[in-house]
A and B are shown apart, each in its own frame.
Chain A
Amino acid sequence: MKTHPFLKTHNKHLAWVLAAVNEMIEESIYYCDTFAHTLQAHHNETAAAIFSALSPYFKSEQEIVLAKLPEQNLPAIPPWEIPHQDYEHPANALMQAHYLMTEHEAWQIVTDMIQVHHCFYRDLIANSSQKEVIDLITSLQTHCLKCEKICATKRVPTKSDDPQDPIDDLDAPVAQS
């Protein structure tokens, strides 16, 4: 591996923070879009719509980051060094998905994804003394709170909204090869 001297510092400067945050948001956008598509392919329009709905919010969150520095100028952080110590990767929430997931479960997963962002921001702010970093994170946190509020308003849990197990599938998966 090539060495990147700027990574050796514990003093997380703005560029590093921008890059790390951008990596995380990009993951969330990617998975929202990808899961929206596969849920649609599995004819679960309801859950697909929820993932589709969230994607633009993540994209506007990314715009806040890229407004500070365009993507091509962000430093390269080895993808395994994005600090996940304090939060779970969105992958862990997404592994709870299944193709018959209910509206309730879908909202739970996207809310968990927003929580991932929240946790990361809290950690960054706790470990930073630089004003520019704190300012950036604060605006990202504000954005996240907005997203959470929207989720909370749109999410209308009903009694029938209980998780289903795929074993109860009346139209089980079709063998393909």
Chain B
Amino acid sequence: MSLEQIPVKKARPNDYTSNEHPVWCPGCGHFFILRALTKALAWLNISKQDIGLVSGIGCSSRLPAYLDVYGFHGIHGRALALASGLKLARPDLTVIAAGGDGDGYSIGGNHFIHACRRNMDITYIVMDNEVYGMTKGQPSPTTDPEWHSKLAPNGTGLSSFNPMGIALASGASFIARGFSGDPNGLTKILTEAIQHQGFSLVEIKSPCVTFRPEQKDWHKSMRLMNVTPFANPMEAAQAIYGSDGFDTGIYYQADSPVYRSEASSKKNGTASEQMDIIEKALLV
């Protein structure tokens, strides 16, 4: 094969990065998620101006500032609601929401459930480090019950939240777990999640080196990309609940009805002709 015949790749990961450098703690898992995301976007060759990246508040929610796309750094817990409005108003955009475990599963829990249920074509990236990092190390919904912290000196005693189980029960049509220390697998999952038609949850184990230094050893326990995707929720539930949380890959991918904008399909005539009809209906 001669070199001239080789297909040319248009976009490069660095094309998607902004001039702003990340200031996450050195060693933070989020760096590798950012990189994997730019690699996925480059591979899919999505135009930068056609991407809407929405986040809430927290360490992970700084993500939009580090990408040269249309970003929205909103308020704590509400990224999915904002992203849903954006996607419905602008179905042409690739809409991605991102945040952490506290943002998505605690303060934003209700939006998480209903975003799954709506199954709009949105990719939701949760950078889960099982701790509130930005407020200095409080237990989050995914923290294990025994973890000792200033706020819960003897541990919370509460079993941790199962986001993938909740997503499955609520109607998400793509559910995957990734590991930030697995750039290849993570990039693959993100690429598939973005391509998937419907709501995609990508739950990513992302170590917090500052408040959970023990998570640096996660890479020793991870079983990378050892999961087979199921289209049947019963089988997927078995796989999700059967895992100790260290298996990565796509657990569930189904072809479920997607909530879409019906704006273009119902239109008959121009908007101003329609307004005339609407106003005439008011007459006695």
Chain A residues with a Cβ under 8 A of chain B: 1, 4, 6, 13-15, 26-27, 30-31, 33-35, 37-39, 41-42, 44, 47, 69, 71-76, 78-82, 84, 89, 91-92, 94-99, 101, 165-167, 172-177
The bracket for how many chain B residues form the interface is: 35 or more
- Mind listing 15 A-B residue pairs with CB under 8 Å? A6-B1, A34-B21, A34-B22, A35-B26, A41-B23, A71-B12, A76-B7, A80-B187, A89-B182, A91-B182, A95-B27, A95-B209, A98-B26, A99-B26, A173-B210
**When the two chains form the complex, which single residue of A74, A79, A92, A99 contacts B43, counting CB atoms closer than 8 Å?**
A79
* Bound-complex Cα distance A41 to B213 (A): 20
Residues of B with C-beta under 8 A to A71: 12
**When the two chains form the complex, which single residue of B23, B31, B58, B185 contacts A94, counting CB atoms closer than 8 Å?**
B31
Q: Is the CB of B6 within 8 A of A15?
A: yes
Residues of A with C-beta under 8 A to B43: 76, 78-79
Residues of A with C-beta under 8 A to B184: 79-82, 84, 89
Q: Which of B32-40, B115-123, B155-163 contacts A (4 or more CB under 8 A)?
A: B32-40
Q: Is the CB of A31 within 8 A of B6?
A: no
B167 to chain A, nearest CB (A): 23
B134 to chain A, nearest CB (A): 5
Residues of B with C-beta under 8 A to A172: 136
Q: Is the CB of A44 within 8 A of B26?
A: yes
B8 to chain A, nearest CB (A): 6
**When the two chains form the complex, which single residue of A44, A165, A177 contacts B135, counting CB atoms closer than 8 Å?**
A177
Residues of A with C-beta under 8 A to B32: 91, 94-95
Q: Is the CB of A97 within 8 A of B209?
A: yes
Q: Is the CB of A4 within 8 A of B7?
A: yes
Q: Is the CB of B21 within 8 A of A37?
A: yes
Q: Is the CB of B213 within 8 A of A75?
A: no
* Bound-complex Cα distance A34 to B8 (A): 27
Cβ-closest chain A residue relative to B136: A175
Q: Is the CB of B26 within 8 A of A30?
A: no
* Bound-complex Cα distance A114 to B31 (A): 19
Known: A75-B6, A84-B184. A95 touches B29 (CB 8 A): yes
Residues of B with C-beta under 8 A to A76: 7-9, 43
Q: Does B165 contact A (CB under 8 A)?
A: no
Residues of A with C-beta under 8 A to B58: 177
Residues of B with C-beta under 8 A to A35: 26, 31
Closest 5 CB pairs of A and B: A97-B27, A76-B9, A80-B188, A37-B21, A97-B26
Q: Does B180 contact A (CB under 8 A)?
A: yes
Q: Is the CB of A91 within 8 A of B3?
A: no
Cβ-closest chain A residue relative to B210: A166
Q: Does B52 contact A (CB under 8 A)?
A: no
Known: A31-B31, A75-B6, A89-B183. A177 touches B76 (CB 8 A): yes
* Bound-complex Cα distance A171 to B35 (A): 30
* Bound-complex Cα distance A30 to B42 (A): 15
Residues of A with C-beta under 8 A to B209: 95, 97-98, 166
Q: In residues 199-236 of chain B, which contact A (Cβ within 8 Å)?
A: 207, 209-210, 213, 216, 219
Residues of A with C-beta under 8 A to B3: 14-15, 69, 73
